[in-house]
Chain A
């Protein structure tokens, strides 16, 4: 399962989200290797439906991901609110039947 954090330039904010998601997976004691979970970041222009299973993006950029199915896009109001990101990560984990705390 691959999570891709996406932002307009692929430079700053997407990497922030990637770091948060990775930290949350750790906090939730998710076995990343056994479940083959990868987390990466990219700019919005390079992201295609094949790039990942789930796309985390700041909510005002939602329209830029038009070609990607809505049920695979996670919209974030804040990129630095760990609680908000954690709720979304847990939703994805439950959706994929991956064990977590």
Chain B
């Protein structure tokens, strides 16, 4: 499932140095807005959640998982990944992020298989190291697809 959701369309890499965390989330989510998986409202809601609740989407060292409730504009289960070659501070300097995942769900349960596969990927330290070092979107995809079935 992860292999279907993370593809040439939804995985991106940028060299930009001047992105705000809000812009990074918008950029990461852009392919999902373009293919109709989520609405602009969903993207705004993901940003609002961080503004209101803090940087809790920083799920691991240099990794963020942006998401919000399905009723805020999610049309289907989707996942996207943006790697920013330069760290971007999520809210403050205590939360530097390199890998920006964006997730959308349609209810509380049907996306749990995706979460499970994502966890298998991210709890593997060697894989995460490879992802952090990837220099192109193709590299990111190759690493993800070779690890995950």
Contact = CB atoms under 8 A, between A and B. Distances in A.
**Chain A interface: which size bin?**
20 to 34
Contacts of A81: 60-61
Given A9-B68, A13-B59, A60-B55, A80 B123 contact: yes
Interface in A49-92: 58, 60-61, 64, 78-82
Contacts of B119: 16, 19-20, 80
Q: Which of A11, A64, A81 has the most CB of B within 10 A?
A: A11
A82 B54 contact: no
A64 B56 CA distance: 11
A85 B75 CA distance: 33
Q: What's the dominant secondary structure at chain A's contact region?
A: mixed
Interface stretch (B9-17, B25-33, B104-112, B132-140): B104-112
B123 A9 contact: no
B115 A16 contact: yes
Given A11-B111, A15-B112, A80 B56 contact: no
Contacts of B54: 60-61
Interface of A: 7-13, 15-16, 19-20, 58, 60-61, 64, 78-82
Contacts of A82: 123
Given A15-B112, A79-B59, A79-B60, 6 more contacts: A7-B56, A9-B68, A11-B103, A11-B105, A15-B115, A78-B61
B140 to A, nearest CB: 17
Nearest to B57: A13
B115 A12 contact: yes
A94 to B, nearest CB: 23
A79 B118 CA distance: 12
